């Protein structure tokens, strides 16, 4: 895998409730926000999981990366949950991809806007050959796939909600509404073997190797 040029965190996500902070499972205590990132390979700029409404997300993109919506070539959604594609319509010129295992279900769900159902495409094994690979990490949803790439600092995995935050990684635990908790635990193990740096679904990035 060839090294990419740079990557940036756009939004640092959070959860409505975090059991590792002693918060109750029964009710949320804050608004949910997904973690979003941008991967600049040198050939293409990829936004992963656009997490805010288009107007707010455009400002965040510029603040955190210097890029404008027109600079983005691809958008990738790690799975079919709405907080991971909230800002996708900002990227009119880009190609829109979703994890292949979730994409068909997404396209058939009439709750999703027609434009999105039409334009969303299932990602293959590589988003960019030799640079950005998809990695199947089922459990949170049946078809979730993260993105793996060689950053300037080492191997990085954008895991989506397979790994919610650093605490969930350390405890090898999924979230309370995972479709299959045991399968997700295996996916977390797989993620731990693959990358030294993890961009989780709802927290800041962290060094996974230090905890092995």
Among residues 40 and 106, whose Cβ is nearest to Zn ion? 106
Among residues 40 and 191, whose Cβ is nearest to Zn ion? 191
Among residues 33 and 44, whose Cβ is nearest to Zn ion? 33
State the minimum distance, in angstroms, from the CB of residue 79 to Zn ion: 6
How far is the C-alpha of 150 from the C-alpha of 131, rounded, in Å?
Answer: 7
57 in helix, strand or coil?
helix
State the minimum distance, in angstroms, from the CB of residue 12 to Zn ion: 16
Cβ atoms 146, 164 nearer than 8 A: no
Residue 89 interacting with Zn ion (CB under 5 A): no
Taking CB under 5 A as the binding criterion, the range among 3-11, 76-84, 118-126, 178-186 that sits at the site for Zn ion is 76-84
Among residues 6 and 172, whose Cβ is nearest to Zn ion? 172
Among residues 74 and 99, whose Cβ is nearest to Zn ion? 99
CA distance to 14, 18, 189, 212, per residue, from 208 (Å): 19, 20, 11, 7
Residue 49 interacting with Zn ion (CB under 5 A): no
Cβ atoms 72, 46 nearer than 8 A: yes
Residue 161 interacting with Zn ion (CB under 5 A): yes
**What are the tokens at 35?**
């973690």
How far is the C-alpha of 113 from the C-alpha of 85, rounded, in Å?
Answer: 11
State the minimum distance, in angstroms, from the CB of residue 81 to Zn ion: 4
Interacting residue with Zn ion among 17, 81, 166, 202 (CB under 5 A): 81
Each residue of 166-199: b (16+ CB within 10 Å) or e?
Answer: bbbbeeebbbeebeeeebbbebbebbbebbbbbb
Instruction: Give the binding site for Zn ion (CB under 5 A).
Output: 81, 161
């Amino acid at each position: 895998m060839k090294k990419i040029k740079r990557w940036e965190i756009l939004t640092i996500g959070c959860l409505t409730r975090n059991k590792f902070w002693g918060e109750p499972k029964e009710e949320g205590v804050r608004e949910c926000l997904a973690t979003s990132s941008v991967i600049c390979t040198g050939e293409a700029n990829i936004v992963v999981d656009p997490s805010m409404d288009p107007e707010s997300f455009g400002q965040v993109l510029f603040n955190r990366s210097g890029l404008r919506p027109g600079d983005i070539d691809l958008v990738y959604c790690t799975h079919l949950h709405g907080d991971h594609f909230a800002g996708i319509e900002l990227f009119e010129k880009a190609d829109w991809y979703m994890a292949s295992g979730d994409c068909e279900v997404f396209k058939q769900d009439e709750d999703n806007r027609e434009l999105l159902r039409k334009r969303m495409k299932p990602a293959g094994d590589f988003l960019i050959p030799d640079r950005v690979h998809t990695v199947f990490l089922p459990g949170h949803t049946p078809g979730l796939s993260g993105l793996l790439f060689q950053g300037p600092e080492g191997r990085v995995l954008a895991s989506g909600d397979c790994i919610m935050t650093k605490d969930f990684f350390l405890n090898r635990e999924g979230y309370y509404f995972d479709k299959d908790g045991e399968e997700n635990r295996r996916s977390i193990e797989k993620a731990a073997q693959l990358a030294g740096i993890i961009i989780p679904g709802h927290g800041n990035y962290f060094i996974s190797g230090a905890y092995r």
